[in-house]
Structure formats: C-alpha cells, structure tokens
Structure 1
Amino acid sequence: MNRRLAAVLMTALAVFTFVPVASAQSTPTLSNIRTGQHAGFSRVVLDLTGLPTEHRVSEVTSVSQCASGNPITVAGPGINEILSVTLIGAAAHDDNGNLTYRGSQNFATPGLSHVRGVALTCDFEATLGVAVGYSNPYSWHRVFTMTSPNRLVIDVGL
C-alpha cells in the first residue's frame, strides 16, 4: 500500500512541478512601419510579430506622449487632422526592454497624397500608440488587421 501511495504522490509532484522553459515574446511587437500610395488612398502598415488584443481609433486635433503627457507635433506639412490609433496588447520593445522597432518615431510621408506624417505616441505597459496626420478633414479612414504576415493597416483617403 505504501508503494502505491508513493507512486501517486510522485505522479502528482511530476504534474505540478514547475520547470522553467524558454518562452516566446509575451506581447506582439512592432518591427517596421511602411507607407504606400494606392489609387484613392494612402496606406500606413505596422508590421507586428503577432496581433494586438484590440485596437482603438479616434480622430483628434492633438496627441501627446502617453507616459509623460508631453505634446507631440506630428511631422509633415499641412496636417489639419490626426487619426490616433491605439493597439492594446502590443509594444515596440521586447520583454527585456530592447527596442524591436528602430525606425523614426516621427516622420513626414512626402510621397503620399493623403497621409502627411506618422508618429509613435505610446510604447508603455503593452499599449502602442500611433498618430497618423492628414490634411483634409473630409477624408475617410479604415483600420484593420491582417495575417501572414501579421500587421495593422491604416488607410486614409478622400
């Protein structure tokens, strides 16, 4: 009987024993920001290692850095409107604090007809913020995710 009890206890310990293993990045990370012009709209693409839990979009007149609250002026000429996109469950750094996106954090987009500039506004506590500046207040926008590869797409057109 004691052998049986010992076998059961050993099995239980084996099931509940924590064995540390190398884990994958826990939060999807930004690796690149691409822009392009299409017929009737301008596109901003955020390349990610995974998809965010959710994203929120709002039209605003100004943006600020999320952690400090300092105002950010989105680079680019003639910006009259800003589309603020917040990715919940995404970052521009890995679990060790190393940057995964090394590009410009605020840049003009001279080759685009609708989007004038893009700026990172937040990379704090698994929240990634991006501001897309555009000139025409009557512009439409759509924001959606795609897979293979994972990305968040921001279109602005007229």
Structure 2
Amino acid sequence: MKKRLGAVLLAVAAVFTAVPVASASGHAELTNIRTGKHENFERIVLDLNGLPGNSLSRETGEVSNCGSGNPVPVGGNEILETMFFGAASYDENFNPTYPGPRNFVPQGLTNVKGVAITCDFEATLGIAVGYDDANSWHKVFTLTNPDRVVIDIYSY
C-alpha cells in the first residue's frame, strides 16, 4: 500500500513539475479596439490575434480594476462588463500588443458613452462598455478571419 501511495505521489509531483502553474503563452492578444454606429445598435470590436477561450458578461452599475480594486470610471447609466479568459493586451514576453487608450469615450456613438479595460492580468482581459439606455440589449460573440470579439449594444 505504501509503495502504491508513493508511486501515485511521485506521478502527481512529476505532472506539477512539468506543467507551469501560470503561463502567459498561448493567449489571444488584443491589438485594437474599434467602435461603430449601425441602425439599431452600436458596436465595439476587439481585434485579436487568436480568440479567448471563454467569456462571462454581467450588467452592473460600477466596475473596478481586477488587480487593485480601484473604481474604473465608465460613462453611461448602465455598464456591461465582460471578462475574457485566455486573452490579454500583451504577448508571451509581456510586451504590449495594444497601444491604444485603456479608458475612452467613443466618438460618433449616441448610446455607448465609454469603453474601459477593467482587467488585464494573467491572461484575463476585462472590458466594460458604458451606455445610457437602460432598455438596451447586448450581444457578445466572436468572429474569425480575422479573429475578433464583437460587443453589440442594441437600442430601439
């Protein structure tokens, strides 16, 4: 029994030795954030070189930085915050891949009042989109060729 337990512990130790606990490689890299106005919706496009593994979205009244916990100001009465897992604004050597602003007011949009990066830590990228119309709907999806994440905020 002791030999079997020792062999199992040795195998588990070998696995944890070979696999790094946190790896910055293999994540999608943010390269640009674009916005646009359409007839019934306004669009935020995150240009990436790869796609995030997963995402979660929530509607909230305020957002904070995932690292510091400090509030992140975002214009608008409502905020949609989406966390993208397996994405960052830097490459595997921690060189920035996104040169743009981390918090800005998009030009030419009427409902969307602000876009902010709320998290960029350990390949988790958080994006907050502030908007005015409380009756807005939202849709978050990916497109390929080229790779990008799209956030649409609908208002009628």
Same fold (TM over 0.5): yes
Larger of the two Rg values belongs to structure:
1
Deviation at 1:113, TM superposition (A): 2.0
Of 125, 138, 141, 1:141 maps to 138
| SS across alignment from 1:104 | coil
Distance 2:116 2:71 in 1: 12
1:59-80 deviation digits (Å, cap 9, x = unpaired): 0110011111111001x4xx10
Aligned equivalents of 1:35, 1:110: Cα separation in 2: 8
Deviation of 1:110 (Å): 3.2
Unaligned runs of 5+ in 1: 1-24
CA RMSD of aligned residues (A): 0.9
Q: Percent identity?
A: 55
In structure 2, distance between residues paired with 1:132 and 1:43: 10
Q: Deviations over 1:93-124 (max 9, x none)?
A: 11111110010100001311221110000110
The answer to whether the 8 Å contact 2:103/2:115 transfers is: yes
Q: With structure 1 as the length reference, what TM-score do the two structures score?
A: 0.81
Matched-pair contact (CA < 8 Å) for 1:140–1:156: yes
Aligned mates of 1:149, 1:29 — CA distance in 2 = 13
2:124 to 117, 127, 131: 127
- Asked whether the equivalents of residues 104 and 114 of structure 2 are also in contact (C-alpha less than 8 Å), the reply is yes
Does the Cα contact within 8 Å between 1:41 and 1:113 map onto a contact in 2?
no
Structure 2's unaligned 5+ residue stretches are 1-24
- Which residue of structure 2 aligns with residue 46 of structure 1? 46
Q: TM-score, normalised by structure 2?
A: 0.82
Find runs of 4+ consecutive structure 1 residues off by over 3 angstroms: none
Aligned residues, how many?
A: 131
Partner AA of 1:117 in structure 2: G
Partner of 1:35: 35
